[in-house]
Amino acid sequence: MYLRKPSKKKIPELSHRAMAGQAQTVVPTDAELLQAQADLWRHSLYYLTPMALRCAVGLGIPTAIHRLGGAASPTDLMSALSLPTAKLPFLRRLLRLLAASGVFNVDKSTEEGIYCINPLSYLLVDGIPHEVHINHTSFVLTATSTRYIDAAMGLADWFKKDVVTPPFEELHAATLFHESMESLDADFHKMANEALEAHDNFGIPIALREFHDLFKGIQSVTYCCGASGDDAFARALVKAFPHLKCTVLVDPKMFGTKPADGVISYVAGDMFNFVPPAQTVVLMLVLHFLTDEDCVKILAQCRKAIPSRKDGGKVIIGDIVIDYSPGPMLEAHLLMDIAMMTMTKGRQRDENEWREIFKNAGLSDYKLLKKFGARGVFEVYP
């Protein structure tokens, strides 16, 4: 058996004829049409939710609520943020939307309402000394920046062109997270890389607890850095498993910034052409930035770098795996996929699509281990 088929249920499909027939015969009821109009308003104005979130982050509302004990009324926030008195009714409306969107919890036992920090807004609080906490303010500000929004505004025109260059690159003549972006807009480039680090490094301590057994028995690891060149996961891995011999493959341009402390061996190189040999190669949130063809090239190099499965050879991949179960997680996965389509050459993939990449790279089998938030962890074998 080559690669086992995933257990995920297939999405039922209708034939074109059946769909056309339904379109001709199904007439919405009056109630459905009235609801449809409200839904259309909601979808058309959805952009105001991230804009309200951006506003809250810019004002420092999550941090202010946290410093007020984790709960605050709009009047409390007016004073804490030194806002003009005339803005109080507008602040109430902003907070009301953010609470309805799940950014804050609200206690309605008082006339004004008390707004409370919840897990989502906790990620936007500055200065929390906790191993798992990483401030995601830079992620919000990058995702809602005019550079992102302007690229998305051009999607319809982009679809009409016979090009596959991402809209972001076509509009700005620069590549996200690349030195070309730094030359164009150094401040945005810095913020975007901070957002990338928050995205990539969040949850490392949780991952090492959840998947502790995955690294038992491993003697050597090669960790392939992504676009940011960040090696936080590798350092956390060595701290958790001091016996590991860890090599980090890093972009030659970033090689000079890495410490020569003997804890990790750094190798300058390009994972498309060479991956340093080890019992295990680790790729964390690297492949979703790349095309399928580029993923195959990198995994083929990983296959060359590891021993046989019998001798413990494997590739560990942490990345987003689209789960079609209805709910907020599916929406998050699909929004991230469209973000990738708009800003980069990469994409988010379901298990079938990952399986095809593994097969094309010459890998023989895999296991999809338990999901980890929005991500999944694969153990892939040569």
Q: Report the distance separating Cα 94 and Cα 115, nearest Å.
A: 11
pLDDT for 10: 47
Within this chain, domains 47-127 and 203-381 share the same CATH topology = no
Which tens digit of pLDDT belongs to each residue from 208-241? 888 888 888 899 999 998 766 678 888 889 898 8
Which tens digit of pLDDT belongs to each residue from 294-337? 999 999 999 999 999 999 999 999 999 999 999 999 999 999 99
Q: Which two tokens stand for residue 64?
A: 């202010």
- Check pLDDT > 60 for residue 56: yes
pLDDT for 9: 43
pLDDT for 186: 97
Question: Residue 76: helix, strand or coil by DSSP?
Answer: helix
Burial class of residue 55, CB neighbours in 10 A (0-12, 13-18, 19+): middle
pLDDT for 254: 72
Placement of tokens 């003697």 in the chain:
219
Around 190, how many Cα atoms within 13 Å sit in the side-chain half-sphere?
A: 3
Question: Alpha-carbon torsion 266, 272, 275, 281, what sign?
Answer: positive
Give me the CATH code for the 203-381 domain, please.
Answer: 3.40.50.150
Q: Report the distance separating Cα 247 and Cα 230, nearest Å.
A: 13
Which tens digit of pLDDT belongs to each residue from 357-379? 999 999 999 999 878 889 999 99
The DSSP H or E segment spanning 339 is helix 328-343
| Largest distance between two CA atoms of the chain | 71
Cβ pair 282, 224 in contact under 8 A: yes
Q: Which two tokens stand for residue 65?
A: 């609520």
Q: Please identify every residue annotated as catalytic.
A: 288
Q: Report the distance separating Cα 108 and Cα 282, nearest Å.
A: 48
Q: Report the distance separating Cα 329 and Cα 101, nearest Å.
A: 15
Domain boundaries, the chain: 47-127, 203-381
Long-range contacts of 88-97 (CB under 8 A, 24+ apart): 94/52, 94/55, 94/56, 95/61, 97/48, 97/49, 97/52
How far apart, in Å, are the Cα atoms of 376 and each of 21, 269, 321, 348?
A: 39, 27, 6, 12
Q: In the chain, what percentage of residues exceed pLDDT 90? A: 73
**C-alpha radius of gyration, the chain, whole number:** 24
Placement of tokens 């998947």 in the chain:
211
How far apart, in Å, are the Cα atoms of 247 and each of 237, 244, 307?
A: 11, 10, 16
Residues 6+ apart with CB under 8 A from 243: 219
Question: Residue 161: helix, strand or coil by DSSP?
Answer: coil
pLDDT for 1: 38
- pLDDT band of residue 22 (cuts 50, 70, 90) is low
Which is higher by pLDDT, 133 or 349?
A: 349
- Check pLDDT > 80 for residue 15: no
Around 327, how many Cα atoms within 13 Å sit in the side-chain half-sphere?
A: 6
Which tens digit of pLDDT belongs to each residue from 95-130? 999 999 999 999 999 999 999 999 999 999 998 877
pTM: 0.88
Q: Report the distance separating Cα 315 and Cα 294, nearest Å.
A: 16
Placement of tokens 């989502």 in the chain:
120
- Check pLDDT > 50 for residue 6: no
Distance, CA of 268 to chain centre: 26
How far apart, in Å, are the Cα atoms of 144 and each of 15, 92, 175, 310, 315?
A: 38, 22, 17, 48, 35
The CATH label, of 3.30.70.260, 1.10.1040.10, 3.20.20.410, 1.10.10.10, for the domain at 47-127 is 1.10.10.10
Task: Supply φ then ψ for residue 72, to 5 degrees.
Answer: -155, 150
How far apart, in Å, are the Cα atoms of 179 and each of 164, 266, 329?
A: 21, 22, 33
Residue (of 230, 215, 235) closest to 281 by Cα position:
215
pLDDT for 230: 73
pLDDT for 84: 98
Q: In the chain, what percentage of residues exceed pLDDT 70? A: 91
- Check pLDDT > 60 for residue 49: yes
